[in-house]
Amino acid sequence: MVYTFGLARYPNSRYRDSMNRLSSYELKAMLHALSLDCEVTAESFGGADFLTFECRPLSPQELSRLSWHSAVVFLAEKEGRMLRPLSFDSGRYLDDDLPEILKYKGKTSPSFTRMMINMALSQTLFFMPDEPLTLLDPMCGKGTACFCALQAGMNAVGLDLDQKAVREAGDFFTRSLKLRMLKHSVQSRSETFGKSSVPVTDIIFADSKEHYQAGDTRSLRLAVGDTTAASALCRRRPARLLVADLPYGVQHAPQFGHRPESFKALLSRALPRWKQALAPGGVVAVSFNTLTFPTREVLDIVVSSGLTPCEGECFSHLRHEVEQAVVRDVVFMMNEPCKGGT
């Protein structure tokens, strides 16, 4: 059977070409996770972009999972030059617009974040999980990755040094829950990690009143502190996924104490703690600007930290230009050897 997936269209043609290429790798990785190693072909019909592949008939559950692809807006069967639209249940836990609404300088595109999540999940044994997973963003800013995870029905943990950004993320999410009339609770406290006291807020919620009363809930944990506190935050519930978007420019150089810290130094001290926060078989996805932090240096730090880089075509050609001063790449890594390159 031949399937074709319509892609979202970006206004910037150069960026669109890059994202379409990454979308192809993302779909191929997701198909591999379903034991479908088939070719993915880029096509255009009527001015719209599509990804087409041929495989055995997909089950409703598989079709639903593939609909989570970061750029897919239309699913169809292809018969010759005719497209037959497919209906499917996306299985979204919260509304699609949750990661999109909060705007701020330096925000990572939610669609790019979803791509990182999907490709990370494709290298795990829980691509189609039986229970909610936990995603950790140890440099969360105002929470885009956390909101992408919550939208998909995961639990999320966000950590950042920027107290104002973390507070805005929490306030925004509680307002969203009230607007949607979803039952929830908010608990704030301070926890001591080593010599530091870290403010922590837990927001417990559910997608319906019935689920909330039955205890079938999800959680967003937000904390203000250095990224190395990630291991302590996930001590009771290790994360299955860790997604981090490093600052892109020298003007946004990370701070440790009051001294500027290089990206190399930051990642070198952070990765061992991130590894401790991750469950066995969990995956770390880190995006960064190669003009300020070359990929080779990132991979050297990954290997020295005891994590295993994910290899294969889908994970080796993700470098792309975002703007003149930003050429972005993504590295995926596991606690243990990957289950197989794609």
CATH of residue 16's domain is 3.30.70
Q: Is residue 93 part of a domain?
A: no
Q: Is residue 339 part of a domain?
A: no
pLDDT tops 70 at residue 340 = no
Which pLDDT tens digit goes with each residue over 176-204?
999 999 999 999 999 887 777 889 999 99
Q: How many CB atoms lie within 10 A of CB 172?
A: 16
Q: Is residue 341 part of a domain?
A: no
pLDDT tops 90 at residue 114 = yes
Q: Is residue 340 part of a domain?
A: no
Whether residue 152 is found in the same domain as residue 24: no
How much is the pLDDT for 194? 72
How much is the pLDDT for 252? 45
Give the end of a domain, one of 85, 106, 141: 85
Q: Which amino acid is at 8?
A: A
Whether residue 270 is found in the same domain as residue 297: yes
Q: Is residue 276 part of a domain?
A: yes
Overall average pLDDT of the 70-96 stretch: 92
pLDDT tops 90 at residue 254 = no
Q: Is residue 294 part of a domain?
A: yes
pLDDT tops 80 at residue 342 = no
pLDDT tops 90 at residue 93 = yes
How much is the pLDDT for 15? 79
pLDDT tops 80 at residue 286 = yes
How much is the pLDDT for 45? 86
Looking at the structure of the chain, the number of domains it has is: 2
Return the CATH number at 278: 3.40.50.150
Residues 6+ apart with CB under 8 A from 215: none
Overall average pLDDT of the 228-254 stretch: 83
75 versus 11: the higher-pLDDT residue is 75
Query: Can you spell out the DSSP letters for 193-211?
Result: ETTEEEEEEEEEE-SSHHH
How much is the pLDDT for 327? 94
Q: For residue 75, what are the domain limits?
A: 2-85
How much is the pLDDT for 250? 47
Whether residue 280 is found in the same domain as residue 159: yes
Q: How far apart are CA 20 and CA 69, in angstroms?
A: 12
142: confidence class by pLDDT, cuts 50, 70, 90: very high
How much is the pLDDT for 302? 96
pTM of the model: 0.93
Q: How far apart are CA 69 and CA 78, in angstroms?
A: 19
Give the end of a domain, one of 85, 109, 135: 85
Whether residue 55 is found in the same domain as residue 146: no
Whether residue 178 is found in the same domain as residue 321: yes
How much is the pLDDT for 10? 79
- Three-state SS string over 215-262 comes to CCCEEEEEEECCHHHHHHHCCCCCEEEEEEECCCCHHHCCEECCEECC
Among left, alpha and beta (phi > 0; psi -120 to 50; other), residue 130 is alpha
Instruction: Catalogue the E-assigned strands of the chain.
Output: 2-7, 41-45, 48-54, 72-79, 82-85, 134-137, 155-160, 184-193, 196-205, 218-224, 239-245, 255-256, 259-260, 278-289, 308-309, 320-323, 326-334
Q: Is residue 307 part of a domain?
A: yes
How much is the pLDDT for 207? 96
The packing angle between helices 163-179 and 144-151, to 10°, is 30
